Chains A and B, each alone.
Chain A
């Protein structure tokens, strides 16, 4: 057996850079906000007593960082939360649009049926893990998450948790630059029936139905949704459709054993007649989850299958994933140790229409542990690690450590070092019978990342909250897949960046947010080519007056040179980097709520119609331009 895994060791030069970055961070964040000083006098957290009942009921918690619910101020990684209310107020018609407001996230829309997400760069949709209630939506054949194909509707989402930086301790190889966990509403949270219908430009129609109830020890919910929209450009090939149509259905049953434990069965399926930038048809995504939960123990079994026909039925792809995860949390006073095991099996079959068949079976086993040590009321240390056996790469390991200073309940200053890896896809390892344009290589190793981050979260004043981070990432063995030779782990890179975000309450009827992202990457294969936008700016306002609500959001994305085919990740690297020009979008929404359970809304995306590309504009699967979209919606709850 060849042992390829290596423990990542910080180089001397990177250590010094990290120390410099951390020093800068300390200087930047050093002038203590008002409440720091108060805290030192009182020596106890005071903020909770200043909160209203509504705020106390919504003190943010996060699951994704350490796979257990914890206060956001105690998370080992930098975390952002998008709530159900944020989603509703955004008027978004897909999950990707919801993510556009978040600092450090780049959203690409190659077409209305396909989106690629990047966290701190790498917006190729391969390097970010997307999970639904903690279960991976990731497919190993192209190492891609088809965000639009996840069987869930926007209205079913309770919150979206975004972990920035490697999240591999609990998620493994696919959580390279971040984790996005979509948390659905429980039947208790649904508690009734809700119907939403949205229609508008480009012949778009989106509707959803949700129903949830509790009956003694049983909870159940059902959900269904439909989406249809025209593409903004004519078909590029005879078999491509002019529009995309998709529907989904879901059902969940929960049996509660008293207060403390429960067993849940969740089945969901989405069918799309046209998807992934118009060259895949009959795409069926099926998820089945069976889990047993106790407060400090859970077992999760997950089945995720995708079947699709591609390129006018030139080939069919069948990717089946089985996951088993067991987690146990030990509490020693305030100190917490999480330890778990994970097993995954992937069966992948691709057939082409000449009868050729490729089959792969992957096995993936991991043990993971993290300890959270509360040294004092205000200092928390975390240290965690993961050892993973991945049948195609062998043994790999990673770790995460953080020091969290929490002067008050709602402040967090953290220094985090985390490592991660990206495991090569089956397409990169084995190709698919010569269909893909690059030359595969079964000897590919994992790509590696080591991330150093200093982050702050907390109030600046009573009305303004600051969320900021500086980070430095080192990459080793990036797969440099040019088309002239077999793929190799030949590229290294380093990246640094800054995220600065503010949430503010201007008056009791006007709130808003603003954030700025700077990121810069140097790659050994591409030099300082701006493969990610260097600057991104988002800001917005939300106003509420009586029965009226309104919002205005602004996004600016700097130019960048796309190197990966975000429209179809199976195709890998583009033969030449394609420039995507900077663009600005302004979105506006106005809603009227005549009753608590009824809302009418009108939303305009890209209000000033800056027709722009967000992804590679050329080639057979070039991106569509993003146009203005005006939508009317009605939501009724009973």
Chain B
């Protein structure tokens, strides 16, 4: 019966490695999914045209805001010296809406963003955050079901562990953003500019 003991011991020994894994490590390491999502956000900039006043100052960077519990960690590090549309990219992180609302400065900074990624932790505050920035030409991006229906513009989905996205072009138009046809073509679902009963699927 020794062999049984060996095999079961080996199996049992396999498991604790997972438990022993330093949790702190995970705190600094974005998952594969969020590295890909970060690359998507970077790509979205190329296919969205912002209102002129939002891009008027050539010295101002393009600001990607992240509101809520940030899953990206260091995922944007590789683009810290890159330029898109002739502008540098700056990542600004905001605590949850409740905390941010307590400071006018924070609220102003959120509204100044070109793109705002609304983390899943802010699921209950979606409409409030979207309403906060709806007149400021901010491209809102989320990752929860019903994001588009809440007025968000681009929503990430997982399909067979591949990252895909859907677009609310009506909300984009209301935010005075023009989404280029290539991005619309690649979206899994598009809510068209003029509301209709049937979405493209």
Contacts and interface: CB of A to CB of B under 8 A. Distances in A.
B36 A59 contact: yes
Contact of A42 (B10, B26, B78): B78
Contact of A371 (B3, B15, B183, B186): B15
Contacts of B160: 61, 69, 158, 186, 189
A374 interface: yes
Given A7-B3, A54-B186, A61-B160, A48 B10 contact: no
B7 interface: yes
Among A58, A334, A336, A384, max chain B CB count under 10 A is at A334
Interface residues of B, number: 46
A483 interface: no
Contacts of A57: 162-164, 186
B35 interface: yes
Contacts of B19: 332, 337
Contact of A53 (B35, B161, B183): B183
Interface string A131-163: 000000000000000000000000000100000
Contacts of B82: 49
A370 interface: yes
Interface string A41-60: 01011101101111011110
B166 to A, nearest CB: 12
Nearest to B164: A57
Nearest to B19: A332
Nearest to B8: A387
B7 A7 contact: yes
Among B25, B78, B79, max chain A CB count under 10 A is at B78
Interface in A319-361: 330, 332-337, 339
Nearest to B47: A53
Contacts of B77: 42, 44
B56 interface: no
B145 interface: yes
Contacts of B17: 335, 337, 371, 373, 381, 383
Interface string A372-393: 0110110001011111000000
A384 B1 CA distance: 21
Contact of A56 (B10, B29, B36, B47): B36
B121 interface: no
Which of B8, B21, B25 has its CB near the most chain A CB atoms (within 10 A)?
A: B21
A74 B32 CA distance: 10
A6 B23 contact: no
Nearest to A191: B201
Interface string A155-174: 00010000000000000000
Interface string B6-50: 111011001101110111011101011001101110110001000
Contacts of B32: 71, 74, 409
A297 to B, nearest CB: 15
B10 A397 contact: yes
B159 interface: yes
A53 B11 contact: no
B25 A374 contact: yes
Contacts of A3: 1, 3-4
A387 B11 contact: yes
A375 to B, nearest CB: 8
Nearest to A373: B17
B74 interface: yes
B52 interface: no
B23 A369 contact: no
Contacts of B6: 7, 397
Contacts of B47: 53
B182 interface: yes
B26 A48 contact: no
B164 to A, nearest CB: 6
Q: Which of B7, B74, B82 has the most CB of A within 10 A?
A: B7
Contact of A334 (B3, B25, B43, B74): B25
A386 B10 CA distance: 9
Contacts of A49: 38-39, 42, 78-79, 82
Contact of B15 (A61, A369, A376, A399): A369
Contacts of A397: 3, 6-7, 10
A184 B82 CA distance: 40
A158 B163 CA distance: 16
Contact of B11 (A61, A69, A330, A369): A369
A330 B8 CA distance: 19
Contacts of B21: 332-335, 373-374
Interface of B: 1, 3-4, 6-8, 10-11, 14-15, 17-19, 21-23, 25-27, 29, 31-32, 35-36, 38-40, 42-43, 47, 74, 77-79, 82, 145, 159-164, 182-183, 186, 201
Given A54-B186, A333-B25, A395-B4, 16 more contacts: A44-B78, A45-B35, A49-B38, A49-B42, A59-B162, A69-B161, A188-B159, A332-B18, A332-B21, A334-B31, A367-B11, A369-B11, A371-B17, A385-B11, A397-B10, A399-B10
18 contacts: A5-B7, A6-B3, A7-B3, A45-B35, A48-B39, A49-B42, A56-B163, A59-B36, A70-B161, A186-B160, A333-B26, A370-B14, A371-B14, A373-B17, A376-B25, A386-B11, A395-B4, A397-B3
Sort A-B residue pairs by CB-CB distance and give the 7 closest, nearest first. Answer: A333-B26, A337-B18, A335-B21, A397-B7, A69-B161, A48-B39, A387-B7
